[in-house]
């Protein structure tokens, strides 16, 4: 008995420390793949982009050495009218996509949150566009937008009795960006809808019951219970949509190549063009740094807003 | 809720019932209309892919014939479904499937292991690593793509499968989602297994992973969609048919003077099928509340 008591702590301590070492090694090796991959494919290229942005690095290696050019790339970008056009265009895109896409997501989420028959079927159907690849979306909407006798133009012609002339959806500088907004909203609203549904589920039923007891009608319950409860969700959705909007690329690259008359040129399209068509990788990296800074500012703004609402 | 309150609520509910009835009608009607508008382009795509004449497809588009095919044919699919040569969409589809399966498979393992250690490990720098991972989430793919292209071409990785898989396996978002899911499981689970002498890996593998079906399903769907829809990265790093994914191949239809809509539609339907299957298989666990928990993150 006494022997056991004196021996036991030492044994336990020794085996515990061995187990701790083994445990530590296991934990490190479970964490290592992710850390190594993130370092090589995210951290290193990210840091490299700041360096490349200050050089005249070409796409194809040349005999002449790569020179450090300081902030020259940034100065040239700021002097390029096309860059400002692309920034203006994504801002226009954001201005339109926020109400259209978030509105659609909010409306469908509110409807699906009700106890309706076949609710899950509808939820599945409403999410279908979100799993559709943007390339496929472009095939579908490319036909819908056909000029002069595509489906949209035929419908508009029919409804207006032929009074409204066919619209060149993707070929008219005044319409091209708006057309891109329509197909982008259709494709992407599903994710925001899911986020809104989650937000709606997070509002406790007791709040609605209490409001009902106090005599609040449906609209009052919506305005005084649902809306305040969804504040963080609104912020999150708006920010995610804005960040997405600033990264606009695929649909523009496929359907309009930035045209007509640069009316759908975007920051990412501008970056890819200067990097791979004009082969100025240093210059393109400088654009990517600017893009990152824009996204960072938006994300920080979100944190500030969320913090304010959490109080 | 006290017993007194219940009758009051019921009375209110009863008085509201008639207005609720009409509200229900309006809601059902609007949900049907929205569903029709949302889904009809996809239905149209399916119908058009079964029509042989590409000029007829466009001519039918503006009318109800867009939703009806009198003599369906699979000839478009036969035309593009080759495994080699021109219009080798069979091959592109297989390429995309290889990339999807490898990325999601490896991604589930790598990200869930990391998420588990960050949630339950005893490593000292855990909190720091977690906040670094969250900070990395801000970096958009688009803004690292330029240096990444230089890196992979220096490493001789262009035009391979690996270059389309390996860079996107580890992801801050999915590590965080797994972390969040594991962290909310009860502490007793971990402690009981630990007392029984199970190693950390064993606890992860035999206890926590089997419990995390919703998380695995959600990450599978999100990662699958992301991998399946990659476009910018593959156009920069693939030059030949060898590893070209189907998204890039479909986009080449738009480079032609006259677009072969019949073939493009068939290729699009081909591209929809696998991701739709993945979604339907996991949808049951794709719980919206799980995604929503990331909102405050």
Task: Give A150-163 pLDDT, tens digit per residue.
Answer: 788 888 888 888 78
Contact criterion met (CB below 8 Å) for B159 and B238: yes
Instruction: Give the pLDDT score at A109.
Output: 92
B85-125 confidence digits (pLDDT tens): 778 888 999 999 999 999 999 999 999 999 999 999 888 88
Q: Does A16 map to a domain?
A: yes
Q: Does A212 map to a domain?
A: yes
Distance from CA of B229 to the nearest CA of A (A): 5
Contact criterion met (CB below 8 Å) for A140 and B41: yes
Mean predicted confidence (pLDDT) in B58-65: 72
pLDDT exceeds cutoff 60 at A237: yes
Cα B117 to Cα B127: distance, rounded to the nearest angstrom: 11
> Do A52 and B147 lie within an 8 Å CB cutoff?
yes
In chain A, what residues touch B1 (CB-CB under 8 Å)? 206, 209
B36-59 confidence digits (pLDDT tens): 889 989 998 998 888 887 777 777
pLDDT exceeds cutoff 90 at A103: yes
Contact criterion met (CB below 8 Å) for B170 and A37: yes
Q: Are residues A168 and A302 in the same domain?
A: yes
Q: Does A288 map to a domain?
A: yes
Instruction: Give the pLDDT score at A266.
Output: 94
Distance from CA of A138 to the nearest CA of B (A): 9
In chain A, what residues touch B289 (CB-CB under 8 Å)? 198, 201-202
Contact criterion met (CB below 8 Å) for A41 and B164: no
Cα B92 to Cα B110: distance, rounded to the nearest angstrom: 27
Nearest to B247 among A135, A255, A284 (CB): A135
The residue of chain B nearest to residue A292, with distances taken between CA atoms, is B143
DSSP H or E stretch at residue A150: none
DSSP B53-100: -HHHHHHHTTSGGGG--SS---HHHHHHB-SSSTTBHHHHHHHHHHHH
Instruction: Give the pLDDT score at A310.
Output: 60
pLDDT exceeds cutoff 70 at B167: yes
Radius of gyration of chain B (CA): 25
Instruction: Give the pLDDT score at A294.
Output: 93
Nearest to B292 among A116, A195, A292 (CB): A195
Q: Does A64 map to a domain?
A: no
Q: Are residues A100 and A33 in the same domain?
A: no
In chain B, what residues touch A22 (CB-CB under 8 Å)? 199
Q: How many CA atoms lie within 13 A of B90 on its CB side?
A: 11
Cα A241 to Cα A192: distance, rounded to the nearest angstrom: 8
Q: What does each C-alpha distance from B171 to A30, A252, B103 come to in angstroms?
A: 15, 26, 11
Name the least confident of B31-40, B59-68, B148-157.
B59-68
Cα B191 to Cα A46: distance, rounded to the nearest angstrom: 39
Q: Are residues A253 and A196 in the same domain?
A: yes
Q: Are residues A49 and A75 in the same domain?
A: no
B213: which 2 tokens? 């079906």
pLDDT exceeds cutoff 90 at A286: yes
Nearest to A134 among B175, B229, B275 (CB): B229
Distance from CA of B239 to the nearest CA of A (A): 13
Print the domain residue range for A10. Answer: 1-53
pLDDT exceeds cutoff 70 at A98: yes
B177-231 confidence digits (pLDDT tens): 999 999 988 888 888 998 888 889 999 999 999 998 888 998 999 999 999 989 9
Could you give the residue ranges of the DSSP H alpha helices within chain B?
5-49, 54-60, 75-80, 89-120, 126-136, 145-154, 162-165, 172-183, 187-195, 200-203, 209-211, 213-229, 232-237, 246-251, 261-282, 288-292
Instruction: Give the pLDDT score at B18.
Output: 57
Q: Are residues A99 and A220 in the same domain?
A: yes
**Token pair 């068939």: residue:** B266
Q: Are residues A45 and A161 in the same domain?
A: no
Maximum alpha-carbon separation in chain A:
104
Nearest to A133 among B271, B283, B291 (CB): B271
pLDDT exceeds cutoff 60 at A3: no
Which has the higher per-residue pLDDT, A2 or A193? A193
> Do A155 and B146 lie within an 8 Å CB cutoff?
no
Instruction: Give the pLDDT score at B136.
Output: 92
The residue of chain B nearest to residue A150, with distances taken between CA atoms, is B62
The residue of chain B nearest to residue A297, with distances taken between CA atoms, is B138
B225-267 confidence digits (pLDDT tens): 999 989 999 999 998 888 999 999 999 888 777 778 888 889 9
Number of domains into which chain A is organized: 2
Q: Are residues A81 and A41 in the same domain?
A: no
Mean predicted confidence (pLDDT) in A34-42: 95
Instruction: Give the pLDDT score at B291.
Output: 53
Q: Does A61 map to a domain?
A: no
Q: Are residues A230 and A98 in the same domain?
A: yes
**Token pair 């230089």: residue:** B150
Q: Are residues A106 and A9 in the same domain?
A: no
Using DSSP, state whether A55 is helix, strand or coil.
strand
A16 pLDDT tier (thresholds 50, 70, 90): low
Cα A147 to Cα A278: distance, rounded to the nearest angstrom: 32
Instruction: Give the pLDDT score at B97.
Output: 95
Cα B143 to Cα A292: distance, rounded to the nearest angstrom: 6
Residue of B37, B278, B297 whose CA lies nearest to A233: B297
* B59 Cα distance to chain centroid: 34
Instruction: Give the pLDDT score at B102.
Output: 97
pLDDT exceeds cutoff 50 at B297: no
Nearest to A49 among B146, B232, B253 (CB): B146
In chain B, what residues touch A213 (CB-CB under 8 Å)? 5, 8-9, 12
**From the CB of residue B71, how many other CB atoms can be counted at a distance below 10 Å?**
7
pLDDT exceeds cutoff 90 at A82: yes
**Token pair 């630990």: residue:** B194
pLDDT exceeds cutoff 90 at A185: yes
Which has the higher per-residue pLDDT, B286 or B38? B38
Contact criterion met (CB below 8 Å) for B133 and B175: yes
Mutate to test the interface with A, among B139, B147, B194, B238 (most CBs of A within 10 A): B147
Nearest to A288 among B143, B200, B248 (CB): B143
pLDDT exceeds cutoff 80 at A125: yes
A73: which 2 tokens? 């790339």
> Do B265 and A138 lie within an 8 Å CB cutoff?
no
> Do A247 and B140 lie within an 8 Å CB cutoff?
yes
pLDDT exceeds cutoff 60 at A2: no
A45 pLDDT tier (thresholds 50, 70, 90): very high
Residues with Cβ within 8 Å of residue A231, at least 6 apart in sequence: A309
Mean predicted confidence (pLDDT) in A69-92: 92
Residues with Cβ within 8 Å of residue A277, at least 6 apart in sequence: none
Residue of B110, B109, B103, B118 whose CA lies nearest to B180: B118
Q: Does A291 map to a domain?
A: yes
A295: which 2 tokens? 């996204």
Instruction: Give the pLDDT score at B5.
Output: 46
Q: Are residues A215 and A289 in the same domain?
A: yes
pLDDT exceeds cutoff 90 at A41: yes
Mean predicted confidence (pLDDT) in A34-53: 94
Residues, chain B: 297
Instruction: Give the pLDDT score at B1.
Output: 39
Which has the higher per-residue pLDDT, B18 or B45? B45
Residues with Cβ within 8 Å of residue B259, at least 6 apart in sequence: A142, B253
For residue A246, give the CATH number of its domain: 1.10.3720.10
pLDDT exceeds cutoff 60 at B289: no
> Do A30 and B114 lie within an 8 Å CB cutoff?
yes
Residues with Cβ within 8 Å of residue A266, at least 6 apart in sequence: A86, A89, A90, A93, A248, A249, A252, A258
Instruction: Give the pLDDT score at B17.
Output: 56
pLDDT exceeds cutoff 90 at B81: no
B286: which 2 tokens? 């794709």
Output the average pLDDT for chain A.
86
Q: Are residues A19 and A94 in the same domain?
A: no
Q: Does A207 map to a domain?
A: yes
B176: which 2 tokens? 């965080």
> How many CB contacts within 8 angstroms connect chain A with chain B?
280
Could you give the residue ranges of the DSSP H alpha helices within chain A?
2-38, 44-52, 72-79, 81-97, 103-113, 119-131, 134-144, 151-159, 176-201, 205-213, 218-221, 227-229, 231-246, 250-255, 267-272, 281-310
Burial of A19 (0-12, 13-18, 19+ CB in 10 A): middle
Cα A101 to Cα A238: distance, rounded to the nearest angstrom: 10
Cα A149 to Cα A227: distance, rounded to the nearest angstrom: 43
Q: Are residues A204 and A116 in the same domain?
A: yes
Q: Does A66 map to a domain?
A: no
Distance from CA of A236 to the nearest CA of B (A): 6
> Do B200 and A107 lie within an 8 Å CB cutoff?
no
């Amino acid at each position: 008995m006494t022997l056991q008591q004196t021996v036991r702590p030492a044994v336990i301590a020794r085996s515990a420390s061995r187990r701790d070492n083994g445990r530590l090694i296991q934990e490190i090796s479970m964490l290592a793949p992710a850390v190594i991959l993130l370092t090589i494919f995210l951290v290193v290229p990210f840091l490299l982009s700041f360096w490349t942005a200050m050089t005249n690095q070409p796409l194809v290696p040349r005999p002449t050495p790569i020179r450090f050019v300081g902030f020259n790339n940034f100065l040239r970008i700021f002097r390029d009218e096309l860059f400002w056009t692309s920034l203006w265009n994504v801002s226009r895109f954001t201005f339109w996509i926020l109400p259209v896409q978030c509105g659609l997501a909010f409306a469908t989420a509110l409807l699906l949150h009700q106890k309706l028959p076949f609710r899950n079927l509808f939820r599945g159907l409403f999410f279908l566009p979100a799993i559709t690849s943007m390339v496929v979306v472009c095939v579908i909407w490319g036909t819908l937008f056909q000029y002069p006798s595509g489906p949209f133009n035929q419908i508009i012609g029919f409804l207006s009795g032929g009074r409204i002339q066919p619209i060149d959806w993707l070929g008219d500088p005044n319409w091209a960006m708006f057309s891109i907004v329509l197909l982008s909203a259709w494709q992407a609203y599903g994710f925001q809808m899911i986020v809104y549904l989650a937000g709606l589920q997070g509002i406790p039923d007791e709040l609605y019951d209490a409001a009902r007891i106090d005599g609040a009608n449906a609209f009052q319950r919506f305005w005084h219970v649902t809306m305040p409860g969804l504040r963080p969700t609104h912020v999150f959705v708006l920010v995610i949509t804005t960040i997405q909007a600033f990264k606009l690329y695929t649909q523009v690259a496929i359907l309009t190549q930035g045209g007509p008359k640069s009316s759908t040129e975007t920051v990412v399209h501008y970056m890819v063009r200067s990097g791979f068509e004009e082969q100025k990788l240093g210059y393109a990296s400088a654009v990517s740094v600017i893009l990152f800074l824009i996204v960072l500012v938006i994300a920080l703004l979100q944190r500030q807003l969320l913090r304010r609402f959490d109080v | 809720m006290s017993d007194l309150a219940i009758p009051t609520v019921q009375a209110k509910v009863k008085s509201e019932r008639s207005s609720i009835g009409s509200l229900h009608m309006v809601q059902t009607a609007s949900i049907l209309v929205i569903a029709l508008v949302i889904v009809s382009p996809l239905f149209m795509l399916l119908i058009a892919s079964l029509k042989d004449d590409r000029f007829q497809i466009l001519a039918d588009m503006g009318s109800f014939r867009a939703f009806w095919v009198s003599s369906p044919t699979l000839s478009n699919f036969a035309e593009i479904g080759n495994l080699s040569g021109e219009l080798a969409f069979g091959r592109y589809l297989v390429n995309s499937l290889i990339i999807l399966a490898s990325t999601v498979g490896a991604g589930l393992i790598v990200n869930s292991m990391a998420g588990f250690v960050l949630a339950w490990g005893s490593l000292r720098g855990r909190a720091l690593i977690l906040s670094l991972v969250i900070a990395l989430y801000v970096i958009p793919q688009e803004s690292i793509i330029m240096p990444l292209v230089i890196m992979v071409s220096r490493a001789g990785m262009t035009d391979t499968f690996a270059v389309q898989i390996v860079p996107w396996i580890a992801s801050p978002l999915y590590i965080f989602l797994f972390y969040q899911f594991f962290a909310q499981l009860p502490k007793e689970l971990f402690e009981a297994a630990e007392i029984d002498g199970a190693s950390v890996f064993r606890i992860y593998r035999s206890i926590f992973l089997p419990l995390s079906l919703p998380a695995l399903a959600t990450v599978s769907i999100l990662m699958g969609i992301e991998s399946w829809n990659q476009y910018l990265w593959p156009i920069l790093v693939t030059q030949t048919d060898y590893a070209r994914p189907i998204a890039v191949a479909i986009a080449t239809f738009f480079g032609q003077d006259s677009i072969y809509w019949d073939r493009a539609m068939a290729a699009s339907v081909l591209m929809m099928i696998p991701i739709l299957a993945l979604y339907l298989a996991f949808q049951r666990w794709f719980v919206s509340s799980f995604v929503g928990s990331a909102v405050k993150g």
